[in-house]
Amino acid sequence: MNTRDTLKINEKGHLEIGGADCVELAKHFGTPLYVFDEAYIRRMMRTYQDTIDEEYDRNGLVLYASKAFSCEAIYAIAKQEGIGVDVVSGGELYTAMRAGFPAEKITMHGNNKLPREIAYAMECGVGTIVIDEYSEADLLDAEAAKRGVVQNVLIRVNPGVEAHTHAYVQTATPDSKFGFSIGSGAAAAITKYVLGKKHLRLKGYHCHIGSQIFEKQSFVLAVEKDLAFMADVKKSLGFEAEVLNMGGGFGIWYTDEDEKIDAEGYRGYLRALLSAVKSGCAAHGLKLPFVNIEPGRSVVGEAGITLYTVGAIKDIPGIRKYLAVDGGMFDNPRFALYQSKYTAVLANRADEKPAEIVAIAGKCCESGDLIGTEFNLPKANLGDIVAVLSTGAYNYSMASNYNRNFIPAAVLVKDGKAEYIVKPQTYEDLVRNDVIPDRLR
């Protein structure tokens, strides 16, 4: 089990998160329920920013990648911690603005930002927009001209680094819908194009090589390729980048097949990256750029768990035993999408030894609706509370109302006390936007 301060087993044999008893949480708030430990989230945000401040002379800003978990409270926490955020849609931006997040500390991404999203970003005064296509540069320039402003932009480049992770979350390979390839010359060509735009101020470059990556070397290699490119552009176009945004991607613990990295370990990842920036700049005669990183998963992933209640048990002798819970792919589609593995615990009997391997199935009408197939648990009974660990990232944010199930509520725990940060849905919420045209009545 995850050994960080977040989770422990109390004297009743119950799982605790952030000092709150999971059995009590399930009783009070119902299941399924997302639960987040505030201290973990703050610790990670602070660790990253402190590392930049200490190792890189305060010359950088952490941007929490809010696609990992977006709701108003998370932007409120990031604001209090003094870091920035990245957003990838009008919806994430709207949520951040509603939470009172300072627009100048927001960076906006997207490989196909809609004209209305671009207009909205400028209306909000978003600090930086990352260009991912020529047509977007045109749109941005026109929108900025209309408003009589000059917009700070970065260009997303693809350094062509292959990191070991699931193919769908790998982004910097040659075949990618993201960014401009450095190797092919596309990145240099768009640089020239953007430099010609009157209402855009090109600050530098962004890259993101993928997610759930454990090799420091992949990040170092990406830095080296980016800096070599920046040196080329300085020579050929006379443009010296002031900003280098290295994206996110640090891996987290899901099962014991993954490394367990504590705050100090993540500091080590960032230190390796920053030291590659320093040595690369020295080697190429570049001035040190302002650095951004965009961690998402590693900030919220291990901070979160999901609580479920076992409602049915199906034992198919010699084949498999299924525990069916009251959630499923509608609150966690990651097994269905990526065959992602998780660790589960019976929260009401967390001190008992595992006795059997079971699959945890959801309640959706399809066979692929599984949280996973290989959970090592004590023999479960109906009514037991299952806690699936490390669900804080890309669960709520990828949840759906499939089968018209409710997207679970989320609570935030601080010093043993839990409060809603996302309220439960109601049947009314599900039909809120439904319309029956008159001719069907």
Min dist. Cβ of residue 8 to ligand LLP (A): 26
Please identify, using beta-carbon distances, which residue of 74 and 393 lies nearer to ligand LLP: 393
Min dist. Cβ of residue 211 to ligand LLP (A): 3
> 84 - beta bridge partners?
63
Mention every residue, 6+ apart, whose C-beta is less than 8 A from residue 18: 6, 37, 38, 39, 40, 413, 414, 415, 416
Min dist. Cβ of residue 395 to ligand LLP (A): 8
In eight-state DSSP terms, residue 15 is E
Min dist. Cβ of residue 40 to ligand LLP (A): 15
Taking CB under 6 A as the criterion, the residue among 21, 38, 226, 294 binding ligand LLP is 294
Taking CB under 6 A as the criterion, the residue among 40, 394, 396, 406 binding ligand LLP is 394
Please identify, using beta-carbon distances, which residue of 250 and 342 lies nearer to ligand LLP: 250
Please identify, using beta-carbon distances, which residue of 246 and 422 lies nearer to ligand LLP: 246
Stretch that binds ligand LLP, among 138-146, 302-310, 372-380, 390-398 (CB under 6 A): 390-398
Please identify, using beta-carbon distances, which residue of 40 and 394 lies nearer to ligand LLP: 394
- Pattern 322-351, binding to ligand LLP, x per CB under 6 A? ------------x-----------------
> 179 - beta bridge partners?
none
Find out whether 225 and 161 touch, Cβ atoms under 8 Å. yes
Please identify, using beta-carbon distances, which residue of 172 and 230 lies nearer to ligand LLP: 172
User: In Å, how far are 38, 117, 153, 273 from 83, measured between CA atoms?
Assistant: 16, 23, 19, 19
Stretch that binds ligand LLP, among 244-252, 343-351, 371-379, 410-418 (CB under 6 A): 244-252
Name the residue whose CB lies closest to ligand LLP.
248
Check binding of 372 to ligand LLP (CB under 6 A). Answer: no
Cα distance between residue 73 and residue 100, in whole Å: 10
Cα distance between residue 222 and residue 219, in whole Å: 5
**365 among known catalytic residues:** yes
Residues 155-214 binding ligand LLP (CB under 6 A) are 169, 208, 211-212
Min dist. Cβ of residue 393 to ligand LLP (A): 6
- How many residues form the binding site for ligand LLP (CB under 6 A)? 21
Task: Provide the H-helix boundaries in 60-131.
Answer: 72-81, 90-98, 115-124
Backbone angles phi, psi at 266, to 5 degrees: -65, -35
Specify burial of residue 19 (Cβ count, 10 A radius: 0-12, 13-18, 19+): middle
Residues 407-436 binding ligand LLP (CB under 6 A) are none
Taking CB under 6 A as the criterion, the residue among 127, 204, 249, 327 binding ligand LLP is 249
Q: How many CA atoms lie within 13 A of 155 on its CB side?
A: 31
Please identify, using beta-carbon distances, which residue of 29 and 269 lies nearer to ligand LLP: 269
Mention every residue, 6+ apart, whose C-beta is less than 8 A from residue 437: none
Check binding of 247 to ligand LLP (CB under 6 A). Answer: yes
Min dist. Cβ of residue 292 to ligand LLP (A): 9
Cα distance between residue 346 and residue 305, in whole Å: 12
Please identify, using beta-carbon distances, which residue of 32 and 247 lies nearer to ligand LLP: 247
Min dist. Cβ of residue 247 to ligand LLP (A): 4
Residues 60-89 binding ligand LLP (CB under 6 A) are 65, 68, 86
Taking CB under 6 A as the criterion, the residue among 43, 113, 225, 297 binding ligand LLP is 297
Residues 95-154 binding ligand LLP (CB under 6 A) are 109
Would you put residue 200 in left (φ > 0), alpha (ψ -120 to 50) or beta? beta
Would you put residue 86 in left (φ > 0), alpha (ψ -120 to 50) or beta? beta
Cα distance between residue 85 and residue 107, in whole Å: 6
Of the candidates 202, 194, 65, the residue with the CA atom closest to the CA atom of residue 136: 194
User: In Å, how far are 211, 269, 425 from 251, measured between CA atoms?
Assistant: 7, 10, 31
Catalytic-labelled residue, pool 22, 207, 364, 365: 365
Cα distance between residue 296 and residue 290, in whole Å: 20
Helix, strand, coil percent content, the chain, rounded in steps of 5: 35, 25, 40
Min dist. Cβ of residue 301 to ligand LLP (A): 8
- Pattern 2-41, binding to ligand LLP, x per CB under 6 A? ----------------------------------------
* Cis peptide upstream of residue 317 (ω within 30 degrees of 0): no
Positions that interact with ligand LLP (CB under 6 A) = 65, 68, 86, 109, 169, 208, 211-212, 247-250, 294-298, 334, 393-394, 398
Catalytic residues: 365
